[in-house]
Structure 1
């Protein structure tokens, strides 16, 4: 394990309980239904137990749980043991239907062409070697399999003054609205230290992703830049106005 990977694991271990509470809120609100409808919109298969979905970076299990509820065969992985413990607890009886495994997103212990769909949320930016991760994800997808990657340029503001100003404006608006600030509620110093080291924080995305996915061999790549409008709550829209979430849909 590299020093950076150790830092990332330690951060998310410490963050697991708080992040789990966020996921629990999503599971008991309209956010669950928004995400389910969005995933069904972009998954080109009917929900049934024959469709194998891999949830990479499952965290406290949000995607795994809502997809299992729809009837899919779910395998969910995370590098952090504490996240998986939270995920199993959040899944309740559904944990018997979900195959939770501790695994590195960049080095998958699965055979080639095992899954019909891969889903992931807010993970790629946080990886030490995202290009290697994408290669691995391509490897384990079946022919015509689909990757759905929801992400954003979360920490571009550490490298761009104009984006820094937009980020600071978000913080002012959030404070004025008297809602929780999703950045300052975390260990912001530790997260920014990691963000300065991982390669994607200062890169223009999703242009980078499109280029790399094409080189790896994905045949069709679609970018949905305004997916945040479908899935974010009003509170998220205020918190992250300067970092809109995009969706990358890639077909093998």
Structure 2
């Protein structure tokens, strides 16, 4: 298991991740725009709120909001949303999406490892495809625990995105996914990605080597969360056919942790 308590982030890898997503902001935003305009917005909204604390108006933090899909979706459901991201270009896309859907969201540029909020601020924290990007995911989980209210919940959606760089079984699955995308005559989602740059970054990130969500479950319990719920088949209801073919070997999981 990776070193949970490593507290010495290297500035270079953090800057590499930030620059990578800054460059991808336009393309990644287009995916989010399409999701906001499709049935997927309702599917994600339903799944998140089904697993959220029962409260008429939740105070929500969207960690690593990117172009703002979660933030806009939950604000449209009538909740009070704050959204953070370290990447300025992503935040600009998110602000534009909020304007397009006429919702008020508090956008904050921040490193998700060190949030500018008081303890016990939020009822719910949501995040998607963020933790695998982090140089110090345990430190981030500690920080998210800090800003959650007692009884609040963290809902994290992620996957073993780059385990194929370290695990031969996953490598063969990744290659089969590429063949299946081609034979199914659908877009290969890795073709439009700077694969070389992202793989170079992923090799330096600790969660690329870990079997998840087992790692996350252990880390969250050490942080102090008292209840955990895992759904390793979350993608079956939330992904479309194209996503399921592209990422068959790396199914998305949902982990819900209660403080």
For 2:150 and 2:29, the matched residues in 1 are separated by 34
Q: Describe how 1:83-122 pairs up with structure 2 within 5 A.
A: 83-92=90-99, 97-122=104-129
Answering whether residue 232 of structure 2 is matched by residue 243 of structure 1, we say: no
Shift of 1:181: 1.0
Shift of 1:96: 5.6
Instruction: Give the corresponding residue for 1:17.
Output: 26
Normalising to structure 1: TM-score of the pair?
0.97
5+ residue gaps in structure 1?
none
The aligned length equals 250
SS in 1 for 2:126: strand
For 2:150 and 2:56, the matched residues in 1 are separated by 19
Normalising to structure 2: TM-score of the pair?
0.94
Shift of 1:36: 1.0
1:206 to 206, 213, 235: 213
Question: Are 1:13 and 1:82, in contact at CA under 8 Å, matched by a contact in 2?
Answer: yes
Shift of 1:228: 0.8
Moved over 6 A (4+): none
Instruction: Give the corresponding residue for 2:148.
Output: 141
SS in 2 for 1:82: helix
Question: Are 1:38 and 1:230, in contact at CA under 8 Å, matched by a contact in 2?
Answer: no
Answering whether residue 81 of structure 2 is matched by residue 74 of structure 1, we say: yes
SS in 1 for 2:67: coil
Answering whether residue 219 of structure 2 is matched by residue 220 of structure 1, we say: no
Larger CA deviation: 4-13 vs 27-36: 27-36
For 2:86 and 2:188, the matched residues in 1 are separated by 26
5+ residue gaps in structure 2?
1-9
Shift of 1:28: 1.0
Answering whether residue 211 of structure 2 is matched by residue 192 of structure 1, we say: no
SS in 2 for 1:230: helix
RMSD over aligned Cα atoms:
1.1
Question: Are 1:47 and 1:70, in contact at CA under 8 Å, matched by a contact in 2?
Answer: no
Question: Are 2:113 and 2:143, in contact at CA under 8 Å, matched by a contact in 1?
Answer: yes
SS in 1 for 2:19: helix
SS in 2 for 1:58: coil
